[in-house]
Structure 1
Amino acid sequence: MVGVGALGFAGAVHAAPGTGSAAPTDFYLPPDPLPDAAPGTILRSEPYALALAVPGQDGQIPANATRIMYLSADTHGRPAAVTGTYLEPTLPWNGPGPRPLVAVAPGTQGQGDQCAPSKGFAELIHYEPPLDLWFSYEVLTAYSLLARGMAVVVTDYHGLGTPAVHDYVNRLAEAHAVLDAIRAAQALTGVVRPSAIFGYSQGGGAAAAAAELQGQYAPELDLRGTYTGAPPADLREVMQGAAISGVVPGQVGGFVPGLLGYVLNGFAADYPEVVPVIDRVTSDAGKAMLHEVANTCIGEMSMRTMLRPATLYTAGGRTMLEVLDANPELNAIVEQQRIGSLAPAAPVLVAGGTNDDAIPYHQVRQLAVDWCSRGATVQLEPTTWLPPLLPSTVVSHQLPYPPSLLAAHNWLSERLAGAPAPSNCAALP
């Protein structure tokens, strides 16, 4: 295995008082029991060398990195340990006011612990034979923010890196992890900064959930705005999308039908009462797939499951819509993940591609409509220039992301500078 240990660390592990010491090899093993402390409390931290950096006068360029373990809460509000990375830029901040902090909610990495972004920043490219090849693409997001002089904190989410199961697209667990990452960065540095949230795809959903929960869960944060790109706000709709079901449902699947495995594995871990339901609604091939993808990054998951119809994995060859309609217990959990029932306190920029083949645009637009109806300040920016390209391959989902970075960063910079936020709610029915 090509792991972070092979690249070395730029320092020793620093354990929180009362949690005992920890060696670098067991950094991701949480203290047991967890301390009785506030969410965002630092449990453990260590500086480390970024795989993509150059020496500078004040350390690494573009940033000095610290791996952190902090206290958060799972979907049921119970204390949970979450890991992540804090990046202190070595480039100057030229904007008005103090240097801001941006919490990056990562897009889909996978469900295996090796996929945690805090590991990816240290090795950049991960490979374990024969198929486990993964590139930490959120480096692009983080480095583009660091280039502007913004401090960055990137959560690994609940269960990604740590022993718990990563509960993929779980609304509450992801929101808690993102908001508590901001708290943790402030606890680590001792500096309270104006903050913002950035996320695309799975990260867009986590960012959106954090934005609407911030007023209740972390009202003390100076949150100036949130960018949510291609958010899976309605999981029921996303589970029927072309990337999972393919363009000929029941015949040929999309490129990532294994995402169903990530979702159902997370449900089984968080809601043990539905394990018998999941067992009942999955075929033998589905049960094998759930086990197979549980330790994969998204690249390997895609290679193992691509083009297989989602109906291969369900008992009786039913579609996911039919499965959900016939099993109210499972459908209720899916509905709990819906985003849009609360109004974000800070402005939000919502973006999505009108021809996105992974995250249906109409549910992205509906999120903006729902927030507008609740009085939030929302700017909806559809990506209309990209035609449908190779439907079900997620090409039309991935291509809008790089050009969206500039627009999203400009919008965030304006919010952090205190400029009034635009809103086109009046143009939405």
Structure 2
Amino acid sequence: MASAFAAALGLGVAVLPASPAQASGGVVSRGVTIPDFYTPPARLPAANGALVSTEPLPLALSLPGLHGPLPGRATRLMYKSTDSGGRPVAVTGAYIEPSAAWKGAGPRPLVALAPGTLGQGDQCAASLALEHPLTINSETVTVGYEDVSVYRLLAAGVAVVVTDYAGLGATDRLHTYVNRVDEGHALLDAVRAAHALPGTSLTKSSPLGLYGYSQGGGASAAAAELQSSYAPELTLAGTYVGAPPADLTEVIKGIDGSALAGALAWSVNGAVQSDPALQKIVDAHLNAAGKAALADASTMCVGDAIFSYGFTRSTKWTKDGRSLSSLVDAEPEIRNFLDAQRIGRSKPSGAIRLATGVEDDIVPHAQARRLASDWCSLGGDVTYVPVRLPDLGDKLLTNHIVPLLTDQGDAISWLTDRLRGKTAGSTCSSLPGRP
């Protein structure tokens, strides 16, 4: 299996033996030693986006070029952000300065990229995947599929900053997964961190874009809503929002029993990390198998979760056989928590391109399309793109993943046009009543 993945990704494959629970040089997660860089200090700077530490990041695919390594020179970042509870949090990520020249007018632009679902174990972090796109051992499989979009942006001469999100990579807390405030803040603070990094070609007037699909689409959507209040000094030229989990009550239904059923455990774990008061509800309703699944999944990446919990129904995790959706309906505290994660109640800043596969049954198409409609009703500048493909298999992830690939080129072209200053054409007037 390792050789097949290596052939697909080319370079940066790490086939690692299992390691003991502790090892010198860093925390170990499922046999992968997380470098000491990812351990936050006891005290963080006061300013959001302030750099905590940096170091060179070797990219898996890097070739010598006349103007530096191709596709660019990468720096690992740790920076300060603020979580949904108002607490300071260390977030890691990476900045990549491209070797390719920016061919548009004005200074080199910056895109802040929000990764799609990678997992909840620290070894799943996107910045680590830039160095090792594929890691395989007896305990984990990590695949850095977001590297493709990063490299495509770099090839266009666009600088890229990638966030790992709160608690993914940084080893001091659990990743809060689809918490919209944590994600939105982490993405916006990544922009601030990139501008604070010395020696880049960025200027204060560098055009700014946001990019994300799936979990990343939710993060870029949340950041576009939060920008005016959280980071008013930033100006968004455009935001790509792909397959966003805008309404988690609907997404839970889509994930339950699917190939990505393990994401239910990440959602529950993340909710408890954000609001520890929810722990008593979790303890009251989950059986031994459910509690074991939460603990197990907390260190897993997507590949591990598919192998271990693919197509599991949440009814197997509850004491009375009810689904997690039924428990949400029955528990006001959980309903209120999920309602607070709803995206679409604030007008987003800048131009938006929202794309979703019409057959997506994992992050359901209907709730993503409703986000476009909600934003239009608030006066947002929204280009809604239904990605029309045949049904590629119920609950298999294919209806969710294939639109990511087929639409990626158009999404990057649209965003690059916004960075060049071209005006986007809103489709809000034609959205009502369309499937």
What is the TM-score normalised by the length of structure 1?
A: 0.90
1:153 alignment partner, one of 133, 136, 161 = 161
Give runs of aligned pairs for residues 292-311 of structure 1, distance below 5 A.
Answer: 292-311=296-315
Distance (Å, rounded) in 1 between the aligned partners of 2:145 and 2:280:
36
Task: Work out which of the residue numbers 418, 427, 430 in structure 2 matches 1:427.
Answer: 430
Match of 1:282 in 2: 286
Partner of 2:407: 404
- Rounded to whole Å, the distance in 1 between the matches of 2:391 and 2:372 is 23
Cα offset for 1:394? 0.5
Instruction: Answer whether contact 1:208 1:228 (CA < 8 A) is retained.
Output: yes
| Equivalent position SS for 1:316 | coil
| Superposition pairs of residues 8-407 of structure 1, within 5 angstroms | 25-35=35-45, 37-130=46-139, 132-163=140-171, 164-188=173-197, 189=200, 191-192=203-204, 193-241=206-254, 244-245=255-256, 253-384=257-388, 386-407=389-410
Post-superposition CA distance 1:112-135 (Å, at most 9, x none): 0001111111112112214x1121
**Residues 3, 123 of structure 1: 8 Å contact kept:** no
SS in 2 for 1:196: strand
**1: distance between equivalents of 2:355 and 2:267?**
23
1:60-118 deviations in whole A, cap 9, x for unaligned?
Answer: 20010000001111111221110000000001111121110000000001000001111
**Greater than 3 Å deviation, 4+ residue runs:** 1-4
Distance 1:56 1:337 in 2: 45
Q: Which residue does the alignment assign to 1:21? A: none
The alpha-carbon deviation at position 48 of structure 1 amounts to 2.2
Give the % identical residues.
Answer: 47
CA displacement 1:204-229 (0-9 Å, x = unmatched) = 00000001111111111121010000
Question: In structure 2, the residue corresponding to 1:80 is in which secondary structure?
Answer: strand
Matches of 1:403 and 1:322, distance apart in 2: 35
Q: Which residue of 2 aligns with 1:250?
A: none
**Distance (Å, rounded) in 2 between the aligned partners of 1:2 and 1:275:** 36
Cα distance in 1 for residues equivalent to 2:392 and 2:315: 24
For 1:25 and 1:297, the matched residues in 2 are separated by 17
CA shift for structure 1 position 2: 5.0
Tell me if structure 1 keeps the 8 A contact 2:221–2:241: yes
Contact 2:245 2:363 in 1 (8 A): yes
In structure 2, the partner of 1:416 is 419
RMSD: 1.5
SS at match of 1:280: helix
Partner of 2:28: none
Q: Does the CA-based 8 Å contact 2:258-2:362 persist in structure 1?
A: no
Shift in Å at residue 191 of structure 1? 2.8
Partner Cα distance (1:225, 1:94) in 2:
18
Are the counterparts in 2 of residues 357 and 395 from structure 1 also a CA contact under 8 Å?
no
2:430 maps to a residue whose letter is A
Name the aligned partner's letter for residue 29 of structure 1. T
Question: 1:331, CA displacement in angstroms?
Answer: 1.2
Question: Partner amino acid for 2:413?
Answer: N
Aligned 8 A contact 1:52 1:124 in 2: no
Judge which range, 333-342 or 417-426, deviates more. Answer: 417-426
Per the alignment, in what secondary structure is the counterpart of residue 120 of structure 2? coil
For residues 404 and 57 of structure 2, what CA distance do their matches in structure 1 show? 28
Unaligned runs of 5+ in 1: 5-23, 246-252
Q: Structure 2 regions of 5+ residues with no counterpart?
A: 1-12, 17-33
Question: Counterpart of 2:221 in 1: which secondary structure?
Answer: helix
Counterpart residue type for residue 100 of structure 2: L
Whole-angstrom CA distance in 2 between matches of 1:339 and 1:419: 27
Larger displacement relative to structure 2 (305-314 or 92-101): 305-314
Deviations 1:181-214 (A, max 9, x none): 0111011146322100000000000000001111
What is residue 12 of structure 1 aligned with on the other side?
none
| Inter-partner Cα distance in structure 2 for 1:398 and 1:377 | 26
